[in-house]
Structure 1
């Protein structure tokens, strides 16, 4: 058996509104909206990762998802412009990552990592 993908499902009462937030901030496509679930994607391939954790690192709350980006500063600006609150960082962690956390409009804690 080979795992071909792992998908994060973010809980929200309004899937399309939350999808529009992620589309705006991360420049994602919306290939499918079924009302109760909205898919977001891009053409980039990714490696498969699944993390298990007791905290978010450095004593922080555990985010529901981590998103790697190529320009952390630009992403931070986009998150702020979209009206979300940065709740941690940006910070260079002792283990080598530069990152920040924000709460999306549905209250999900998201970790954004410079990759």
Structure 2
């Protein structure tokens, strides 16, 4: 599977209450997007050490019964889904086109961590 970007998905109880730490202290931008249950924050410019810094705060997933620890963006989520099935990893949320414009599924790694494998709909 080709990986485009990895975003940490941090569980928080209240995104507005957490916002100040990430924007004021860490210096990340205000919401790149905010769906109420998930919001993404990023550095205004790429850092000298890496690509653009991004993080997501999640209160609960809007569709799935479990929250992922990270979102892994890939150019071909359908191929990734087929590879996960072929390798026998546990799919905890099926391949789905979500109403907010992503195509995704959740997979549980052998260590128990759940990952959101995702691509944005075109």
Question: Which category describes the TM-score, using the shorter chain as reference length?
Answer: 0.5 to 0.7
Indicate which of 93, 106, 116 corresponds to 1:111: 116
CA distance in 2 between partners of 1:95 and 1:50 (Å): 18
5+ residue gaps in structure 1?
1-5, 9-44
TM-score by length of 1: 0.56
The CA distance in 1 between the partners of 2:80 and 2:63, in whole Å, is: 22
In the TM superposition, 1:1-115 aligns within 5 A as 46-58=51-63, 60-115=65-120
1:62 deviates by 1.3
Q: TM-score, normalised by structure 2?
A: 0.53
For structure 2, the 5+ residue unaligned runs are: 1-5, 9-49
The count of aligned residue pairs is: 74
**CA RMSD across the alignment:** 2.3
Relative distance call for 1:109 and 1:97 in structure 2 (3 A) is same
